[in-house]
Amino acid sequence: MTVGTDILLDTSTRSSTAFLADAPRFLFFTGKGGVGKTSIACASAIRLAEGGASVLLVSTDPASNVGQVFGVSIGNTVTQIDAVPGLAALEIDPEQAVQQYRERIVGPVRGLLPAAEVASIEEQLSGACTTEIASFNEFTDLLTDAAWTAAYDHIVFDTAPTGHTIRLLQLPGDWTEFLTAGKGDPSCLGPLSGLEKQRAVYAQAVAALGDPERTRLVLVSRAQQSTLAEAARTHTELAAIGMDRQYLVINGVLPGPDAELPSPATGHPAGVDDPLAAAIRLREQRALDARDPVLVALPTDHLPLMATNMVGLPALRGLLPHDGSTVSPEPAAELPTSGQVAPAHLGSSSGAGHLGDAGLEVLVDQIAADGHGLVMLMGKGGVGKTTMAAAVAVALAERGFAVHLTTTDPAAHLTDTLAGELTNLEVSRIDPAVEIERYTEHVLTTKGTRLDEQGLAMLREDLRSPCTEEIAVFQAFSRVTREAKNKFVVLDTAPTGHTLLLLDATGSYHREVARQMGTSMHFVTPMMKLQDPAQTKVLLVTLAETTPVLEAAGLQEDLRRAGIEPWAWIVNNSIAAASPTSALLKRRAANELPEIDAVRTRYAARTAIVPLLAVEPIGIPALAGLSGG
């Protein structure tokens, strides 16, 4: 561990796990999507359990992949991990949590109230606001309900990507303030039913989160400018609610060339002169040197980039070496030759309609042929949605089209990614705080003008409910989709789980409009636009790794159930397409090939493969280069 200074992992690939030393009861792992939170949380839970502790591993991510990492089905019930005595896991499934929450409220009145009133209550309980509250209640129970968590020495939380996690951890204070102020008759009364009785529970949750003897927050980052900046913002926001005792883990640092996997021909480290590996090391060192001072002050551990994906117990056990030990390189058997991982290997195309190793420019040309429309980029956190969205927007703008590039991601980095301005390109962000203010002002100047003082006071209380954010963000989303009638709107979405909640709100709105309008009147809702490929093209962004591909495939099925068919997939940051000579990178490239083949042959109608670049694609010229500019 280092405090205040860092030395990039060198030939010894030293790695420590000080963040697990004297671990308290609650451990939270959070950070920007794709930094390895789930892998580190799972590996930490294994380490604690194999040290003799009883451990419950909990995922609060709406798009959890803990089950995929362990290779077992987990879900919304505590599941023992048989291969690790003392370890159990739980995924807070939003849909199951909502069903249970809804039944607790509706069950007692079913059969007592008229069917129409019961149906009305159920409709009030069908939105994303209910999903948030239901999942949150399960989360607070884990912090406060000793009756069913007493059996565990440690509860390890694998959280959603940063923006969603900050929202979750702030909610105990938000709801406590809302209830303490005596708010009444809120518009989302259905979801809020019974919240008053939770007042003491929320207060206990606030106390637990702010107590360093009980709770430790571990910020997980990569040695990258954007993820370190995100970690600094997370540190500041969570320190503001009392979670100021934090640790930092820099994950996936590329080892020095002397620590590379040995060459099968010589038995000595290979890839010393690999320009791609050298450029990555230099980029990582510069990012570490330039990180925010608030991170420099944190206790910091480093974990090296591993040659294989973090799926299965052997890989997870190898991720966290014991302090003072070194990371042993994996055997060099079955290293691919350069011909096996060259871009030419990706040129074979299977199935009609596939584009094989087409670059991003081919997709952009096809999108541009429509002249306007909504382009939505979706996927797991950390796969590069923001970069790909910016690249598509820049390419369309340089082709002469008017483009509005915006994002629903709470941890948006569009401005940092673009690092400049471009003719025809408008950039914005759907900021929940701004949208709440806009929505509140609109309601007060419309409905509020017809109310007396008492009614106006109740309306203001209503609007201070945390549920107002759901309505405000949905309205902003609807507003930008309308612009796609006359220009291109490129939407960088939040990580998968958060995006599905937004689509849930869109679907709820569609059903309500359809109910009110009936079959005799023509109407168009945002959901109908998303379902029309002539108006909306959904691009799923993934990495050539097991978990991101499986999650993107799951997202595709969720979208299809909503009547939305993804238009194309983008495999981003492909090492295989970059032709590395470093032995470690070649091993990772070989692991990519089955995933790329699965995308092209099983999942995608169109595929673009974007190679890992020696220089981060930041700035308009670099982004233009991604799409052939």
- Exposed/middle/buried for residue 196 (C-beta within 10 Å: 0-12, 13-18, 19+): exposed
**DSSP label at 601?**
I
pLDDT score at 331 = 37
Residues 227, 352 within the same domain: no
Residue 455 lies in a domain: no
Residues 283, 368 within the same domain: no
- Percent of the chain residues past pLDDT 90, beyond the cut: 22
pLDDT score at 273 = 63
Regions of the chain with pLDDT less than 70: 1-16, 61-65, 93-95, 120-136, 160-202, 258-273, 321-358, 409-412, 461-471, 494-527, 628-629
The active-site residue, picked from 6, 13, 31, 37, is 37
Instruction: Give residue-wise pLDDT tens across range 480-504.
Output: 888 888 999 998 876 544 455 555 5
Residues 279, 423 within the same domain: no
Residues 349, 402 within the same domain: yes
Nearest partner of 377 among 352, 360, 362, 365, judged by Cα: 360
CA distance 224 to 227: 6
pLDDT score at 399 = 92
The active-site residue, picked from 16, 17, 38, 59, is 38
Whether 34 is catalytic: yes
Residues 232, 166 within the same domain: yes
Whether 258 is catalytic: no
Residues 620, 565 within the same domain: yes
Contact by Cβ (8 Å): 299, 3: yes
Question: What spatial distance separates the first Cα and last Cα of the chain, rounded to whole Å?
Answer: 44
pLDDT score at 356 = 47
Domain boundary among 263, 290, 319: 319
Spell out the residues 6+ positions from residue 45 whose beta carbon is closer than 8 angstroms to its own: 55, 57, 84, 87, 89, 154, 156
pLDDT score at 391 = 93
Whether 33 is catalytic: no
Residues 116, 193 within the same domain: yes
The active-site residue, picked from 15, 176, 547, 574, is 547
Q: Give the domain CATH number at 349.
A: 3.40.50.300
The active-site residue, picked from 6, 61, 93, 492, is 61
Q: What share of the chain is helix, strand, coil (3-state, %, to 5)?
A: 50, 15, 35
Residue 448 lies in a domain: no
Q: How many domains does the chain have?
A: 2
The active-site residue, picked from 6, 31, 33, 34, is 34
Residue 110 lies in a domain: yes
Q: Which CA distances in Å does 255 have to 8, 16, 325, 327, 520?
A: 8, 14, 15, 10, 66
Residue 263 lies in a domain: yes
pLDDT score at 291 = 92
Contact by Cβ (8 Å): 106, 98: no
Residue 479 lies in a domain: no
pLDDT score at 517 = 47
Strand stretches in 38-153, DSSP E: 55-59, 79-80, 87-91
Residues 198, 163 within the same domain: yes
Residue 79 lies in a domain: yes
Which range of residues forms the domain containing residue 347? 338-430+484-500+524-626
Residues 137, 279 within the same domain: yes
pLDDT score at 570 = 95
**DSSP label at 377?**
E
pLDDT score at 393 = 93
Residues 303, 371 within the same domain: no
Residues 280, 372 within the same domain: no
Whether 547 is catalytic: yes
Domain boundary among 319, 348, 364: 319
Global pTM value: 0.69
pLDDT score at 348 = 37
Residues 280, 414 within the same domain: no
pLDDT score at 40 = 92
Residue 456 lies in a domain: no
Domain boundary among 261, 285, 319: 319
Residue 240 lies in a domain: yes
Whether 39 is catalytic: yes
CA distance 474 to 471: 5
Whether 263 is catalytic: no
pLDDT score at 272 = 55
